[in-house]
Structures are given as structure tokens and as C-alpha cells.
Amino acid sequence: NAGVTQTPKFRILKIGQSMTLQCAQDMNHNYMYWYRQDPGMGLKLIYYSVGAGITDKGEVPNGYNVSRSTTEDFPLRLELAAPSQTSVYFCASASADVNEQFFGPGTRLTVL
Amino acid sequence: AQKITQTQPGMFVQEKEAVTLDCTYDTSDPSYGLFWYKQPSSGEMIFLIYQGSYDQQNATEGRYSLNFQKARKSANLVISASQLGDSAMYFCAMRPRPGAGSYQLTFGKGTKLSVIP
């Protein structure tokens, strides 16, 4: 069981570039999430999904897009990267019958 | 809307002593879940303990216990017999009631715990 995996671990982008952060889980969880963590802060929800084909905005969705074509994968797309998107990004998954929310190892993104 | 407040930016504790990390919350939901996560300097999020709002007893997991006072809307984490490896950021988080949509977590800003040898 790999749990929740994220790629890449680190990335440096130039302003205006685009990229996709990959997230996959092998626990057959319906619920998946993207959070961002700014320095010295807690995590804030960007987008979430309650199942394949269903996504919705969280607290800080501007500048991001997501898709959920399969139960396993939940990629996060950054269009026109800005310095304000410099952060650590965590993907997580959960199911209705388990209290724990499982987190990936995170992606550290720097936009210069 | 749900809100988590952690008022202690940093805490120090002597090795082998107990320490309490404070967490207060605000919600209008009658049913909810409360979590504590540990984030060491390596960055990963480690689940520690969960408390349901209707659970009759306070949750315990090894050296971790959750002091849940529903009327005061507090969910403090107690770590007994602190170890050097407990030095980390600790986050309190809340989830809506089961069945209320997406189970997303709302996090506090965290408390940095430093264990002194």
C-alpha cells in the first residue's frame, strides 16, 4: 500500500509558467483534497472532490484548477504561476468509514 | 463556518514531562469531528488522534490524549512523558459531521513544540 503519493517533491517555476501537481491514492477513497500551507501557517483547502467526476472549490481556489477522472487520481493545475502561489501543497484522501484523513508527503513549489 | 484557534505559537517542555497544547473551536454544527496532526521538520502530516463530538469518553492513543470539553468548545492535546522526537508543529483541525458533504478539514495555525533535554 503506497497510500497517497505526490509528484514532484520540489519545483521552481517562473512567473507565468504552468504546471500540474500529481496526486494518486490506492486506498479506494472517494474523498480527495488539495491543501496549501504557507510558511508558519496551517493548511488551507484549495479544491476537493467527493468522487470521480465531481469537484468543488475550497477556501482558496483562485489560480488553480482540478479534475477527477478516476477514483485514484486528483491532479492540481496551476495556470499562470504567481509568487503568491509559493507554498507547500498537500494532497489528502479520506473515506466515510474511517476518521483519519491521509496526507501525501507534499510538494514544495517556489515561483520566482 | 468552522474555525479553529490555537493561541500558543510556541511551547517548551522538559523531556519526560507532560504538556498540554490548546485548541478552541467554533461551529454551529451539532455533530463534528476534531483531529490533531503532528508535522515534524521533515514536513509530513502525521495523524495523532480523533474525537467525535458525541463520543462519551475522551480519546486516547498511547501517550496522546484529547481533553475534550464540549461546553467550552475546547479540544486540548495532552502529551505525556515528552520525548525529544515530539519536537514538531502540532495542528488542531475540525471536520463537519459525517454525511455533511465532503469531510474537509479546517486547520488552526499550529503550535510549535520544543522538547528540552
Residue-wise pLDDT for A34-83, tens only, equals: 999 998 889 999 999 999 999 999 999 999 999 999 999 999 999 999 99
pLDDT of residue B29: 86
More confident residue, B100 or A9: A9
Nearest alpha carbon to residue A29 among A88, A92, A77: A92
Residues in chain A within 8 Å Cβ distance of B44: 103, 105-106
pLDDT of residue B99: 63
The pLDDT > 90 percentage for chain A reads 88
Rounded-to-integer distance, Cα B94 and Cα A18, Å: 32
Residue A2 has pLDDT above 90, yes or no: no
Q: Which residue of B has its CA nearest to A42?
A: B109
Parts of chain B with a pLDDT under 70 = 98-101
Q: Choosing among B49, B105, B109, B111, which should be mutated to test the A contact, i.e. which has the most A CBs within 10 A? A: B105
Residue A31 has pLDDT above 90, yes or no: yes
Mean confidence (pLDDT) of chain A: 94
More confident residue, B58 or A96: B58
Q: Which helix (H) or strand (E) holds A108?
A: strand A107-111
Residue A4 has pLDDT above 90, yes or no: yes
Rounded-to-integer distance, Cα B105 and Cα A45, Å: 8
pLDDT of residue B14: 98
B15 near B117, Cβ under 8 Å? yes
Whole-Å CA distances, A63 to A79, A81, B31, B107: 6, 8, 33, 21
Burial of A45 (0-12, 13-18, 19+ CB in 10 A): buried
pLDDT of residue B30: 86
Residues in chain B within 8 Å Cβ distance of A101: 35, 47, 95, 103, 105
More confident residue, B62 or A1: B62
A68/chain B closest Cα distance in angstroms: 14
* Range list of β-strands (E), chain B: 3-5, 10-14, 19-21, 24-26, 32-39, 46-52, 60-61, 64-69, 74-79, 88-96, 106-107, 111-116
pLDDT of residue B2: 87
A49 near A57, Cβ under 8 Å? no
